Homo-oligomer: A and B are copies of this chain.
Amino acid sequence: MIRNFKITLAYDGTRYSGWQKQGNTGNTIQGKLEKVISAMFGTAVEVQGSGRTDAGVHAAAQTANFKMDTKVSAAEICRYLRAYLPQDIGVLSVEEVDARFHARISAKQKTYRYRIWNSDVPNVFERKYLYLCPEPLDTAAMEACVPYFLGTHDFRAFCSNPDLKKSSVRTIYEMRLERLGPELRLTVTGSGFLYNMVRLIAGTLLEVGRGHLRPEEIPEILERQDRRRAGPMAPACGLCMMEVAYE
């Protein structure tokens, strides 16, 4: 019987070329995962992720699924993956799911977090998961931007792919900017995200924080759908995929 397995995994993206495998080149999470699962079953296995993460981006809970005609239990697959995956890719759980479950298509919403270390006092232990920005930031102005992003918009101005043929309309359900001591933490939950969308939103908020852009300009940037008017893309290391929610 063909069974469908859902994997929830965390990874430190620092030394990877992102989620998606790239032929035989590139050190990718999907590539590592498929290699270990294929070795376990002695046959080529394709793994579907909930979505790509860029080179250097982390995940606290990325999801993926694969189908296999096997009697092996989800618990055994979990143990095997934990034993053979490198230490910077951690399998949180493996569960058997309905045949119709697809990690990407079944996803209802995703949450990403962007972490900014806004201090000149170094944070050695979390340095790989933070974007270091020691200069003062006007957090009140950054917070004033949040309401403009909430809801359903055409986010074409916040997408790195200029040739996008599909719809660039997305819904942001929740967006929070919190200060935890020296850390500024942006958490965004949405129906889905365009290529580099969270990093472009974070980069735009940083431009506002630096006084190079006013919060009131956000609606116009969204409306004009002009990528060049938004801020530069914030570095990959600060971004982490936090959750993928299903029905």
Contact residues of A with B, CB < 8 Å?
10-12, 58, 60, 82, 87-93, 120-127, 129
Contacts and interface: CB of A to CB of B under 8 A. Distances in A.
A91 B91 CA distance: 35
A169 to B, nearest CB: 33
Contact of A129 (B11, B92, B93, B125): B125
A116 B82 CA distance: 18
B125 A12 contact: yes
B10 A90 contact: no
Pairs of residues from A and B, 6 with the lowest C-beta to C-beta distance, nearest first: A90-B122, A90-B124, A10-B124, A12-B124, A87-B127, A88-B124
A60 B89 CA distance: 26
Nearest to A12: B124
Contact of A124 (B87, B123, B127): B87
20 contacts: A10-B122, A10-B125, A11-B124, A12-B125, A12-B127, A58-B125, A60-B125, A82-B120, A82-B122, A87-B124, A87-B127, A88-B124, A88-B127, A89-B124, A90-B121, A90-B122, A90-B123, A91-B122, A92-B121, A125-B126
A76 to B, nearest CB: 13
Contacts of A127: 12, 87-88, 90
Contacts of A120: 82
Contacts of A93: 121
Given A12-B124, A12-B125, A91-B122, 14 more contacts: A10-B125, A12-B127, A58-B125, A60-B125, A82-B122, A87-B124, A88-B124, A88-B127, A90-B121, A90-B122, A90-B123, A90-B127, A93-B121, A125-B126
Nearest to A120: B82
A91 B122 CA distance: 7
A27 to B, nearest CB: 16
A87 B12 CA distance: 17
Of A82, A88, A92, A124, chain B has the most CB atoms within 10 Å of the CB of A124
A88 B91 CA distance: 27
Nearest to A129: B125
